[in-house]
């Protein structure tokens, strides 16, 4: 499975838990272990699509995106079962989870400062579109990092680390 995160902070708990080793620095950070790869794209849809395209072109496999999103319940881990791209208004349906609460994630081109009822991020729709172009399935997990105030979002891995055992059980 290919794991994708936008930032090193979001990815570090998985890199450590899975014992992944860095195999590429450029064009994107890529870590690898016996049964998993992890690519770090940078924030935003363009970066995510580019990094996933690069990683999937040589080794097509299912993708698990793990990252932060704005929402109401800071620290909560959600399985994303529906993604709405707010640039195109396209809607993508993913597999619901029986193990985690399910949520809808809306993807925006910039951090959202106005609260909405769903989660908001900057990568999910690109993950879905890119993964599907390669004929693979994707799963998206989001931890709520802030209540629509990006200045208060953590820049470290502590919120992901709180859920590392749950995340590992889903791999």
**pLDDT given for residue 133 in this prediction:** 97
Task: With a cut of 70, list the residues of the chain below it in pLDDT.
Answer: none
Number of domains into which the chain is organized: 1
Give the helix/strand (H/E) hosting 51. helix 45-58
- In this structure, what CATH number is given to the domain that contains residue 112? 3.40.50.1580
Running DSSP on this structure, what letter comes out for residue 61? -
Domain range spanning residue 20? 2-170
**pLDDT given for residue 59 in this prediction:** 93
Q: Which residues, other chains included, contact 95 with Cβ-Cβ below 8 Å and sequence gap of 6+?
A: 81, 137, 139
**pLDDT given for residue 97 in this prediction:** 94
**pLDDT given for residue 155 in this prediction:** 85
Cβ neighbours, 10 Å, residue 47: 17
Q: How far, in Å, CA of 121 to CA of 125, rounded?
A: 9
The string of DSSP codes covering 70-119 is E-SSTT-EEEEEEEEETTT--EEE----SSS-EEEEEE-SS---S--SSE
**pLDDT given for residue 126 in this prediction:** 98
**pLDDT given for residue 37 in this prediction:** 97
**pLDDT given for residue 150 in this prediction:** 87
């Amino acid at each position: 499975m290919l794991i994708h995160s936008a930032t090193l902070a979001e990815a570090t708990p998985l890199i450590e838990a899975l014992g992944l080793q860095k195999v590429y620095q450029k064009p994107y950070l890529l870590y690898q272990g016996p049964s998993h790869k992890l690519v770090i794209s940078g924030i935003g849809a363009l970066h995510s699509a580019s990094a996933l395209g690069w990683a999937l072109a040589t080794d097509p496999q299912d993708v698990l995106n793990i990252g932060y999103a704005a929402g109401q319940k800071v620290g909560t881990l959600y399985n994303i079962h529906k993604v709405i791209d707010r640039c195109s208004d396209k809607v993508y349906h993913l597999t619901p989870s029986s193990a985690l609460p399910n949520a809808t994630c809306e993807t925006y081109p910039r951090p959202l400062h106005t609260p909405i009822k769903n989660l908001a991020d900057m990568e999910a729709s690109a993950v879905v579109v890119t993964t599907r172009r390669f004929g693979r399935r994707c799963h998206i997990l989001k931890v709520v990092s802030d209540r629509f105030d990006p200045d208060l979002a953590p820049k470290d891995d502590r919120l992901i680390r709180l859920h590392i055992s749950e995340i590992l059980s889903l791999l």
